[in-house]
Amino acid sequence: MEEQNCMNGRIEKHPILGDLTPVQEVTIYFEGKPIKARAGEPIMAALLAAGVGVFRYTKKGSPRRMFCGIGRCTDCIMNVDGLPGVRTCVTEVRDGMKIERQSGVGIWRVSDSEGDMHGER
């Protein structure tokens, strides 16, 4: 499984920034599996810390994860709560959020009016 090949983790101790301070935890679901995330962090960080190596596949099946990390390049887009194309590097986690890999441009799983209730689209 690629999750194991691309191992990552939290930086608990840091010589300049000090110990990682505990914050409120939220649970997000990646492909149905629960993942603990730190409140306020972007989806990208939570998935990376959980060892998720591939965020999406292009329509030709080529894997992608992240590139710029600040919302410019759209490399890290995923399906979030039914909406495809969500930039996971600038979208904060929310308790109960459902995140799935998308293929190509992805599939819209919510109605348009429902989509308006969400943040990123």
Partner 1 sequence: MERDNKPAVVIGAGPAGLCAAIELKKAGAPVILMDENSKPGGQLFKQIHKFFGSREHKAGVRGFDIGKELLEESMTSGIDVRLNTEVVGIGQGLSIWAVENRTHAYTMDAAKIIIAAGATENALSFPGWTLPGVMTAGCAQTLINVHRVLPGRRVLMVGSGNVGVIVAYQLLQAGAEVAAVIEAAPQLGGYGVHTAKVRRAGVPFYISTTVAKAEGVECVEHAVIVKVDSKFKPIEGTERMLDVDTICIAIGLTPSIELAGLAGCKMIYVPELGGNMPLHDEYMQTSIPSIYVAGDIAGVEEASTAMEEGRLAGIHAAWSMGFLSEQEMLAKTDIARQRLLALRQGMFGFKRLSAKERIVLQGKSR
Binding site for partner 1 (CB under 8 A): 2, 5-12, 14-17, 20, 41-42, 44-45, 48-49, 53-55, 62-73, 75, 89-90, 92, 116, 119-121
The alpha-carbon radius of gyration of the chain (Å, integer) is 15
Residue 33 or 72 having the CB closest to partner 1: 72
Closer by beta carbon to partner 1, 49 or else 110: 49
**Separation of alpha carbons 39 and 84, rounded Å:** 22
**Min separation Cβ 31 and partner 1, Å:** 15
- What is the closest distance, in whole angstroms, from the C-beta atom of residue 100 to partner 1 in the complex? 17
How many Å apart are CA 28 and CA 46, to the nearest integer? 9
Q: Which is nearer to partner 1, 22 or 32 (CB)?
A: 22
Token digits of residue 31: 């492909």
Of all helices (H) and strands (E), which one includes residue 98?
strand 98-100
